[in-house]
A and B are shown apart, each in its own frame.
Chain A
Amino acid sequence: MNSTVATDTEEKTWGGGNKPLNASYGKMMMWFFIVSDALTFSGFLAAYGFSRFKFINEWPIADEVFTHVPFLHGQELPMIYVAFMTFILIMSSVTMVLAVDAGHNMNKAKVTIYMFLTIIGGAIFVGSQAWEWATFIQGDYGAVQTNGGNILQFGKNVTEDGVTKFKRVSIDDIAIVQAGERVDHERKNGLWFVDEGTLPPYTVSEIYAGLAANEDILVRNQMLDDEGHKTVLSREESLKQIKENGKLVVKGANLHVNEYGTTLFADFFFFITGFHGFHVFSGVVLNIIIFFNVILGTYERRGSYEMVEKVGLYWHFVDLVWVFVFTFFYLV
């Protein structure tokens, strides 16, 4: 009827400065990013699960792969270090929430301290992951790869406290070094325009000689039995497998070969934990930027510490993803 009169509510809705769903623009966009990034990670984990179906009867057992803890050399401590890493990341999430909480109370000193602790936690986590990678790449006991790409590992039955257990033996302890006829091809001793990768530490025949000389050493393949253990072959079968099928001696892991089992395991380990580690790294960088902004008083002048809240969301998301990576890579 009267077009010149606008009600107050209408002006409030369309006049600008209104927040849909009570969330500010930046926060909402951070959530949109997180949802899409969560889908990326679920895609990776789904690909990992899919590939696992392919090798479901011979997938490496994480407990046997990740057994190392820094400074405790030679001890088998499955899961302990990963659990520690998980705890560090959750802890740094907590300091982040405390920083956000202090930001709500406009307490600059406390925000500074908690942001600093969060950065330290993130740095410890990234460092731990680097160490974990280095240990994984370095390798443990070594193995022999067959023509079909299967992995044969070595060990012997050891009786401790009346229980007989299969204990792994390193290829360094088995191999009998023979006069080597094969030298690493470098540019200086061969064709200058051709390179070859590092040669394996031993040849298959050196391993075979060692296996034949040590009566108690057995080979185990990757097939899981009903109890979820890897199958240990008989002595005759062990010798036969290495002699007939042994192709390449493998120590450590890279994208082509992997002493722990199927190559895909290493590929996904590098890909998924690497992608997550990259997220943690960028999170630390973002946290450092915000940390300096806090010190410089940017948010004090702006009158709101919402920026801390936004990077906080990202930081918690990194923690959230790790919870899933931890479950699907190390537990299941």
Chain B
Amino acid sequence: MAHEHKLEIFRGLVKFKSNKSKIWGVLIFLSIVTAIEVVLGIYKPEIFMHTWISPFEGGFFATIGNIILSPFVYMKPLNLIFIVLTIVKAYYIAWDFMHLRDETGSFRKMIVWTGVFLICYIIFILLQEGGYVFGVYNAEDALIKRDF
């Protein structure tokens, strides 16, 4: 069993003396992130409630631009912030609590990239089919009516 622990977080910005103090440090960080999420979730600041960029109009390149910038074009900034903060939290849980940081690099990659690759595929299906079903139910000329 590997006994050495890597004690740096934030790319070496913070270095802890022992594994125990690192755990408490990560706990404090995770609690702060959760607190930020809850406060944002309760107050919902007005500036985060509307997208900052509206979808580009025009030909092929506008479509490409919309796809590349889709998190900014189609998602409320608040939701984007929540998702980013969640991934940050997930990173520290996996790296420090599940001590992936101390595992062999290839072992870490094997776990993380398998998941990331397959989840990207699931997200693609979700957005593709979700967009379709949105059109069927909610578009102007939708065939299905529930307003009765």
Cβ of B10 under 8 Å from chain A: no
B37 contacts which chain A residues (CB < 8 A)?
Answer: 326-327, 331
From A28, A31, A98, A326, B23 is in contact (CB under 8 Å) with: A98
Give min CB distance, B128 to chain A, whole Å.
Answer: 10
Interface centre among B1, B99, B111 (most CB of A within 10 A): B1
Cβ of B69 under 8 Å from chain A: no
| A53, B31: Cα distance in complex, Å | 31
Interface string of B100-119 (1 = CB under 8 A from A): 00011011001100110011
| B: contact size bracket | 35 or more
Interface string of B18-51 (1 = CB under 8 A from A): 0110011001001100110110111010000100
Give min CB distance, B116 to chain A, whole Å.
Answer: 10
Contact (Cβ within 8 A) A54 B134: yes
Interface string of A76-112 (1 = CB under 8 A from B): 0011100100110011011011101100100000000
Cβ of B126 under 8 Å from chain A: yes
Cβ of A178 under 8 Å from chain B: no
Interface window among A7-15, A55-63, A251-259, A285-293: A55-63
Contact (Cβ within 8 A) B41 A316: no
Cβ of A274 under 8 Å from chain B: no
| A42, B121: Cα distance in complex, Å | 11
Contact (Cβ within 8 A) B27 A94: yes
Give the contacts of A36-60 with B (CB-CB under 8 A).
38-39, 42-43, 46, 49-50, 52-57
Give min CB distance, A17 to chain B, whole Å.
Answer: 14
From B99, B111, B130, A53 is in contact (CB under 8 Å) with: B130
Contact (Cβ within 8 A) A146 B148: yes
The count of residues in chain A whose C-beta lies closer than 8 Å to any C-beta of chain B is 62
Name the CB-closest residue of B to A103: B1
Contact (Cβ within 8 A) B147 A42: no
Cβ of A295 under 8 Å from chain B: no
| A88, B96: Cα distance in complex, Å | 18
B residues with a Cβ closer than 8 A to A are 1-3, 19-20, 23-24, 27, 30-31, 34-35, 37-38, 40-42, 44, 49, 79, 82-83, 85-86, 89-90, 93-94, 96-99, 103-104, 106-107, 110-111, 114-115, 118-119, 122-123, 125-126, 129-131, 133-134, 137-138, 145-148
New A-B pairs, 7, CB < 8 Å, besides A39-B122, A323-B86: A46-B126, A56-B138, A63-B42, A93-B93, A150-B146, A150-B147, A327-B83
Chain A to chain B contacts (Cβ below 8 Å), 18 pairs: A22-B2, A31-B111, A35-B115, A49-B126, A50-B133, A53-B133, A57-B138, A79-B41, A90-B27, A97-B99, A104-B3, A148-B148, A227-B49, A320-B90, A320-B94, A330-B41, A331-B37, A331-B41
